[in-house]
Amino acid sequence: MSQTPKRGLGRGFEALISNDFDKSLLLTPEDRIEKIPVGQLQASPYQPRKHFDETALSELAASIKRHGVVQPLVVTPVKDGVYTLIAGERRWRAALLAGLATVPAIIRSSKELEQLELALIENVQRVDLSPLEQAVSIERLHEQFSLSYDTIAKRLGKATSTVHNIVRLLGLPEAAREALIAGKISEGHARSILALKGDSERQTYLLKTIIVQGWSVRQAERFVLSVKAGASSAKQAHERVHTETPATKKLSKKLGTPVGIRRTARGGKLEISFKSDDELERIIGLFD
């Protein structure tokens, strides 16, 4: 039996996405770093991030006062000595707070940026990419090239909702990301875990249950619905995943056919199985 070749994901999620997009994408060892006056820089009008945390900026400014801007910004020339920021607006804003006169930057031409952007678009469209790898590439397009998710979706030929759902995978807890990379859970399972965002205890419980008990995506979805319906504990939510109860067993025996319960956010549905139209007529007749 042939083994499936490894795809370089053995080091886990940090091997897939670095903490620093600039270094991994826009900067190379051969790039020449230049000192550019802070007054000659302007934010990109397409920057998707509109809010910068003031406290975090102040902390970064204090660090810059002590150590300077460690990592260069990436800019592209506009006209009359003015440059538009491609990456590093947060560092630029902090440098202004710190009172720096210049910042280190690497100048990229519009053509170079277009080539980088096209390479990322092509990368997202590769059929062998995992969901998390797609999410990383899309987020790079969003952050580094100031592209909205709607614009990215159009360039990829996907629905905007699809792009949002892919990127949401980056919000998975670390253990769930690792499980998705390792193939221990599916993308459908991951979405169920994401649906419990903010409830780390139940997210952890659901992940472990999926892996240990081999829950299907549908079972994971039922667990989430039970939680959202007000189950007081993970154990109670777990119990409500089961489609068979003493009551359904009793009804199944009386009707002579399997009966199950499907939980929803508000109550649930009673499901009575039948194999043919004749059997359906027989079951209906029992209620006359």
143 is catalytic: no
CATH code, domain carrying 148: 1.10.10.2830
Pair (90, 23) in one structural domain:
yes
Domain containing residue 130? 112-170
266 with 223, same domain: the answer is no
Q: What is the pLDDT of residue 5?
A: 41
Answer whether residue 4 is part of any domain: no
Which pLDDT score is estimated for 2?
42
Query: Considering 126, 150, 170, which residue would you say is the last residue of a domain?
Result: 170
- pLDDT reading at 1 higher than 70: no
Give the pLDDT confidence of 186-236 residue by residue, as tens digits: 999 999 999 998 888 889 989 998 998 888 888 888 888 877 775 555 555
- State which of 108, 135, 151 marks the end of a domain: 108
Classify residue 99: in a domain, yes or no: yes
Q: Are 96 and 38 in contact (CB under 8 A)?
A: yes
Indicate whether 241 pLDDT > 60: no
More confident residue, 73 or 264: 73
Q: Does position 12 have pLDDT exceeding 70, yes or no?
A: no
**Mean pLDDT across the chain:** 79
Region 119-148 average pLDDT: 80
Which residues are bridge partners to 75 per DSSP? 85, 107
Q: Domain for residue 96, yes or no?
A: yes
pLDDT tens-place string over residues 138-154: 888 887 777 889 989 99
Question: With contact defined as beta carbons under 8 Å apart, do 153 and 162 qualify?
Answer: yes
96 and 52 part of one domain: yes
The model's pLDDT over 73-110, given as tens digits with 9 standing for 90+, comes to 888 888 888 998 888 888 999 999 999 999 998 888 87
> 21 or 159: which carries more pLDDT confidence?
159
Nearest of 56, 88, 63 to residue 74 by alpha carbon? 88
Q: At what angle do helices 160-168 and 149-156 cross, to 10 degrees?
A: 110
Flag whether 9 is in a domain: no
Specify the DSSP class assigned to residue 31. P
The predicted pLDDT at position 235 comes to 53
- CA 276 vs CA 122, 272, 279, 281: distances in Å: 50, 12, 5, 9
Q: Where are the alpha helices (DSSP H) in the chain?
A: 13-16, 21, 54-67, 89-98, 110-124, 131-144, 149-156, 160-168, 174-182, 187-194, 200-213, 217-228, 234-239, 246-255, 277-285
pLDDT band at 169 (very low <50, low <70, confident <90, very high): very high
Read off the CATH number of the domain in which 72 is found.
3.90.1530.30
Residues 55 and 80 both lie in one domain: yes
- DSSP state, residue 157: T
262 has a pLDDT exceeding 50:
yes
Question: Within a domain: residue 258?
Answer: yes
Contact 165, 1 (CB under 8 A): no
In terms of domains, do 278 and 218 share one?
Answer: no
Instruction: Give the torsion through C-alpha atoms of 103, 105, 109, 114, to 10 deg.
Output: -110
Q: Give the C-alpha separation, 209 to 220, whole Å.
A: 9
How many Cα atoms sit within 13 Å of 151 on the Cβ side? Answer: 12
Answer whether residue 26 is part of any domain.
Answer: yes
Asked if the structure places residue 59 within a domain, the reply is yes
3 within some domain: no
| Pair 99, 27 in one domain | yes
Check whether residue 97 and residue 129 sit in a common domain: no
Label residue 46 by pLDDT band (50, 70, 90): low
Residue 37 shares a structural domain with residue 97: yes
Same domain? For 204 and 140 the reply is no
- Domain closes at, from 55, 79, 108: 108
Report the b/e string of 239-265 with b at 16+ CB within 10 A: ebbebeeeebeebbeebebbbbbebee
211 and 142, same structural domain?
Answer: no
Mean pLDDT calculated for residue range 164-192: 91
- Structurally, how many domains does the chain consist of? 4
Q: Which of 89, 139, 178, 221 is catalytic?
A: 89
